[in-house]
Every structure is written in C-alpha cells, then in structure tokens.
Amino acid sequence: MPAQAGIHWKHLDSGLCRNDGGKKDVRFSIHPWSRAMRIDVITLFPDFIESCARVGVVGRARERGLIEIATWNPRDFATDNYRSADDRCYGGGPGVVMMIDPLRKALDSVRRASGSEHGKAIYMSPQGARLDQAKVEAFAQRDHLILLCGRYEGVDERFIEHAVEEEISVGDYVLSGGELAAAIVIDAVGRLQDGVLHDAQSAQQDSFSDGLLDCPHYTRPEHHEWGDVPAVLASGDHAAIARWRMKQSLGRTWLRRPDLLEQVVLDKKQRALLDEFRREHEEKTTHDRDSGSGE
C-alpha cells in the first residue's frame, strides 16, 4: 500500500485494497481526494457475488481499486458441526429461516473489518421499498454499504428489527435468494463511482438521469435492408441532434412510461418537443389506421 500523506484510509487494515505489488494505484492519480466505496455482502453464496463482481464495468473498477467488495458467509460463523445458518420455521409449515446468531457474527466481522462500528445492513427483499435511480444515486454517495442476502423463507424478523436499516426490493417478483438483487445494487451503484465510466458525460447521458427513458441509438451501416439511420444523426448538426434525442426521450417516455413523465417537470422547450412528437405520432397512427391493414 503506498503511503499517502494527508489521506486517511479508514480501510487500510482490511486487506481488501486490491493493489497488486507494482501496479500503479489509480485511486490516487485520478481522484486523490476520494476513498474507494466499500460494499460488504452477507450471503450463503459468496461465489455468486464474487463472480458478478469480476465482470464488466464493475469488475474493472474493482481491479482498479475504485470499489472494494467483500463477502461474508454466515455459515462460517455457525457454532455446530453442521455449520448451520438456518433452522425450522416457528409456527410450522415447510421451509427454514436464517438464524440470528450466525448473521449477527457475520455483521460484527463486517463492522470490525470496515471500521463501521454501528453499520446496519440493507436487506434485499420483495417487502422493501422499490429501488430506483434516485435511490441508487443516494447509495452511490455513501462510502460503505452492507448488503444482506436472504435465502429460504428469509431472515429471522428479530435480526431485521435490530440490524437492518432498510429493506430494498429490485422489483415485484420473488427470487430464490437476495444475491441477484444485491448484484443489481452493486452494478448500479458501482458504475456511478468516480473514475468508473469512461467520461463524466456517460452517467449524465443515462436513461433516468433526467427521469426520462433513453433515446434510440444507431451504428453503421447507415443504410440497411431493415431501415436507414435517421438523417439528422449523420448530419453533424450537434444542436439538431441534441434536439432530436431529447424529443425521442420525451416521446418514448410518454408512450411507454407515462408514470415517469408525471414525476418530472418539463421546461418550455421540452414541452414543445413533446407536443411535436405527439402531433407526429397522432398523424402517423391515424394514417396507419386509414390506409388500413384490411380491417
């Protein structure tokens, strides 16, 4: 670990800063003022999280030391010979529930390793508040997250009451465990860390960064059996291109996710662009209807 004057590394002792010997530590050259975000994941399937954390944008960010990800298996904190982390459900019925004590010991280890003395977990569950980009951005601001993945029937409610700060759901469907949901949080939060995406613009150009859906994208060839690239995109007129993209974003959001459109305040220019889109859409659909498909 390179010694850096004036920079306090809370997590120096954790052994998680992946600075292989000779490699330059890019955290200091790109953003010397910021510390890598740390994400601890409590899971019965650490391999799943580890393999997710090795690929793509997040994998590269982790290699470069821009994010630290560590996994903790409650089984490793069990006290019996079977390494039990779950037990039968009180009240009867099928299935098992994750026990308090192995989880509690895993959390204590996270707290010691991260220096977050009173850190609580974020529990991935369908009972939680829905994850959206605003929530992802709020998580991305934090320097430490502890994600708790449930399996089976879930986690003993007393652990949730004492050691969980919030429950988060990635969508209204039931997974067989919280790991996929945690991987979603890691990916969405990881790509927003400083230095992770290629240019500062890429995160701002995202779908949802302004509460709207993304516009369509095209690459070569310009002319194809399946259609042509909209001429404006090849025109080199940057103002016209920006206008077209905004109009498409507004139009698609109006068509596909009117619920999102209700949450954003449009400026005068955007209202005019959306009106234009709607008029053209109206024209197109009436034309399609009139020149009918034989109905």
37 or 131, CB closer to ligand 4GY? 131
Q: 35, 104, 126, 167: which one is catalytic?
A: 126
Is 126 among the catalytic positions? Answer: yes
Q: Which long-range contacts (CB under 8 A, 24 or more apart) does 207-213 make?
A: 207/249, 208/132, 208/133, 209/133, 210/249, 210/264, 211/260, 211/263, 211/264, 212/249, 212/250, 212/252, 212/253, 212/260, 212/261, 212/264, 213/249, 213/252, 213/253, 213/256, 213/257, 213/260
174 near ligand 4GY (CB under 6 A)? yes
Report how far residue 199's alpha carbon sits from residue 67's, in angstroms, rounded to the nearest whole number. 17
Contact status: 74 vs ligand 4GY (CB under 6 A): no
The piece of 103-111, 177-185, 263-271, 272-280 that touches ligand 4GY (CB under 6 A) is 177-185
Q: Does 178 sit near ligand 4GY (CB under 6 A)?
A: yes
Q: Which is nearer to ligand 4GY, 177 or 230 (CB)?
A: 177
Calculate ∠ Cα 262-190-6, nearest 5°.
Answer: 120
Asked whether position 136 contacts ligand 4GY by CB under 6 A, the answer is no
Whether 191 is catalytic is yes
Q: Does 226 bind ligand 4GY (CB under 6 A)?
A: no
Find the helix or strand (DSSP H, E) in which 100 lies: helix 100-114
Stretch that binds ligand 4GY, among 5-13, 121-129, 259-267, 279-287 (CB under 6 A): 121-129
Annotated catalytic residue 156: no
Residue closer to ligand 4GY (CB basis): 157 or 222:
157
Q: Say how many CA atoms lie within 13 Å of 62 toward its Cβ.
A: 21
119 near ligand 4GY, judged by CB under 6 A: no
Residues lying near ligand 4GY in the complex (CB under 6 A) are found at 124-126, 150-151, 154, 169-171, 173-175, 177-178, 181
